[in-house]
Structure 1
Amino acid sequence: MTEPVLFRWPPAAAFGRTVPKTKFYEHANVHNALREKFVDDIQRITWAYKLADDTIRLRGTAAVPEILVFAVETKGTDVSDDVLTAIDKSVHFPIIFEVTNNDRVRTVAAQKSLLGKNPTVGTYFTTDWQPADVPRRPLPTALDLPGLYEALLTALLPVATRVGETVSEATDRLDRARRLQREIAALEKKLRTEPQLNRKIEIRRQIKERTAVLTELTDPVPSNKE
């Protein structure tokens, strides 16, 4: 992300409750290696804000009953997505994280579905590290909590959404683009070591085809062929 994305959370939504890391051990399937990451990565977890009907007067739904903001203070340089996922899966509400490291902060979140017994968490999107005192932007305008959640997640996407595209659709498009990038990198590596000319020609053809699809996926305005 090139543009700072730190939101000015409403004072009426302030919660300010420290949550012990053990709470997440109790409610998530945290194996020993991940528990060590909790201990090594995190200094403190604070439930900083609760965005809900009773705090900001936006109606919730079964899909987005509330939106929580968790401030995660690091011990080291950062917190891994594995740790954030464990926190996310143990809380039955959508979460926006603000990860802080000394005087730096980044906003990070993944689209979360509450359908089913256990929440499912998608790909995490994050801002770059920013100075903690960078000016904050007001919350996006929304008619209800699902609309606010969609707008918050959209602000974190590394590419612009297309007209009429939801966060879920944009995430799927980006996931496909990342898979293609990995395939292209593997083909380019294979091309460098392939001795046979006919195989080189075939590999170049595959790279060209995948590169064309990747360009289409990352274009903010899709062609009529899509």
Structure 2
Amino acid sequence: MFSGADFVISFPSSARVHRILPKEAFYKHLNLSGEIKGKFISDIQRVTLEYSLTAQTLNLELCEAVDEILLLIVELKKRDADPRLFEVIARQNPHRMIFLLRHSGQVRLAIYYSKLYQTQWQPEETLTLQARGINLAVVWEGFIEQIALQIKPTQTLGNIDMRLRRQETQQSLKKKIERIERQTRAEKQPKRKFELYQQLLELKKELEDIT
């Protein structure tokens, strides 16, 4: 558990580091544009390396693919901090990283996997993150499931990339459906209204097929 909060995170105490990383020393080692460096200063209050998850600290089998996962607590000065900050940090670090973002008693989790995924903001006491698996590669995939797909870690078959692509397709279809629904309600011409309605039916069928 994190000191001073009721996080339900089941990481062993042997994995806890709890070391504050000076902002200046932290971003000096990153290749940042002037804009991103400015946002690092204006958006972030403090960065703490909270957990170092390894095969040893989690008592798992060794795995060459993933040798360490870091969990950073990032205290934000503003709730809508630029997500590019965390993308840059994750891309330029050799370790896998989980970000726990905190602002005004609310928290969210973020993970970078080809792009940045974030959970919704929630009260600190409701936050959960489970480390399950026989090695760190499986644990990392479980973190992706919990943060990017927002589901509990599973042992079900299915490539994580395929599931993420399916999720993105679903989100894209939902946005198209919402847009065409608005257009259909606003359309006055019967013929055009019927065409939009047909498009709507096709999109809803496509969404139903992949859900």
Q: Is the shorter-chain TM-score for this pair beyond 0.5, marking a shared fold?
A: yes
CA offsets, 1:170-198, max 9 Å, x none?
Answer: 21111111111222233233334444322
Check the 8 A contact 1:191/1:204 in 2, yes or no: yes
2:150 to 140, 149, 158: 158
Counterpart in 2 of 1:149?
140
Match of 1:27, SS state, is: coil
Counterpart in 2 of 1:69?
71
Check the 8 A contact 2:87/2:116 in 1, yes or no: no
Q: Which amino acid aligns with 1:188?
A: E
Q: Which runs of 5+ in 2 are unaligned?
A: 1-5
Distance 1:136 1:201, change over 3 A: closer
Give the RMSD, CA atoms, in angstroms: 2.8
The CA distance in 1 between the partners of 2:197 and 2:62, in whole Å, is 51
The CA distance in 1 between the partners of 2:80 and 2:195, in whole Å, is 42
Q: Which amino acid aligns with 2:140?
A: Y
Q: Does 1:167 align with 2:160?
A: yes
Task: Quote the sequence identity (%).
Answer: 25
Q: CA shift at 1:124, angstroms?
A: 0.2
Distance 1:110 1:99, change over 3 A: same
Q: Which amino acid aligns with 1:128?
A: W
**Number of equivalenced pairs:** 203
TM-score by length of 1: 0.76
Q: CA shift at 1:78, angstroms?
A: 4.5
Q: Does 1:212 align with 2:205?
A: yes
Match of 2:107, SS state, is: strand
TM-score by length of 2: 0.80
CA offsets, 1:26-53, max 9 Å, x none?
Answer: 423x333322322222101111111112
Q: CA shift at 1:123, angstroms?
A: 4.2
Q: Which runs of 5+ in 1 are unaligned?
A: 112-120, 219-226
Match of 1:208, SS state, is: helix
1:51 to 50, 53, 60: 53
Counterpart in 2 of 1:181?
174
